[in-house]
Structure 1
């Protein structure tokens, strides 16, 4: 039996956290979520298998968080999918080290495919 994959979602919209969290749990993932993107940087040793990170959060820019995670040897291999309602910043999301980008509003099928693709890469 394979270990349940853990996904951390950071978004300052509680509706998105609830909706995406429910669907991911239904798909068999263990989901943790936070309204505070900065909290991701203070995660204990319990790192997720994948991060879904909103770019525009109050008090935190997902791109800055992504850069810090990718520079830390302990977290640099965690796939990060940055999410934003602004399609014009996909390039800067990828430049920040994101493994993928998703524009809001998004289809859940597209999100699930991106998650699956990233988790396949990491094993």
Structure 2
């Protein structure tokens, strides 16, 4: 049977958020990969996720720069990016960098699931 699970990459330097979100998404039937290190996102993108859940502020890396690079690359430009941040005032800059949607931390898991369902079905 072919694997039809949608793949989600979680990139956030907050291990508690990554762990709890990954657990929830796996229970929901998604195939989840994760990185706590912003510098490893491009390597993680080789798995061609269906969606990237991307923190704006990661140690040493700005998620908006990563998003801009993704959207400029023909191989990754069509992968939806759901940006997350504890700072509401970066919402517009997240969209300006090409993010498909934005979610403020702390977020309700229902809100996350609804946004993911909207982006990748």
Task: State the TM-score bracket (shorter-chain normalisation).
Answer: over 0.9
Distance 2:51 2:62 in 1: 18
User: 1:115 maps to which residue?
Assistant: 116
The size of the alignment, in residue pairs, is 120
Quote the offset at 1:2 in angstroms. Answer: 7.2
TM-score normalised by structure 2 residue count: 0.95
Change (3 A) 1:43 1:34: closer
User: 1:74 maps to which residue?
Assistant: 75
Segments of 5+ residues of structure 1 without an aligned counterpart are: none
RMSD: 1.3
Quote the offset at 1:44 in angstroms. Answer: 5.9
SS in 2 for 1:52: strand
SS in 1 for 2:110: helix
Segments of 5+ residues of structure 2 without an aligned counterpart are: none
Distance 1:37 1:92 in 2: 18
Distance 1:103 1:44 in 2: 23
SS in 1 for 2:115: helix
TM-score normalised by structure 1 residue count: 0.93
User: 1:85 maps to which residue?
Assistant: 86
Distance 2:3 2:47 in 1: 18
Distance 1:64 1:43 in 2: 16
**Contact 1:38–1:65 (8 Å) recurs in 2:** no
Q: Which runs of 4+ in 1 moved over 2 A?
A: 42-45
Distance 1:70 1:108 in 2: 26
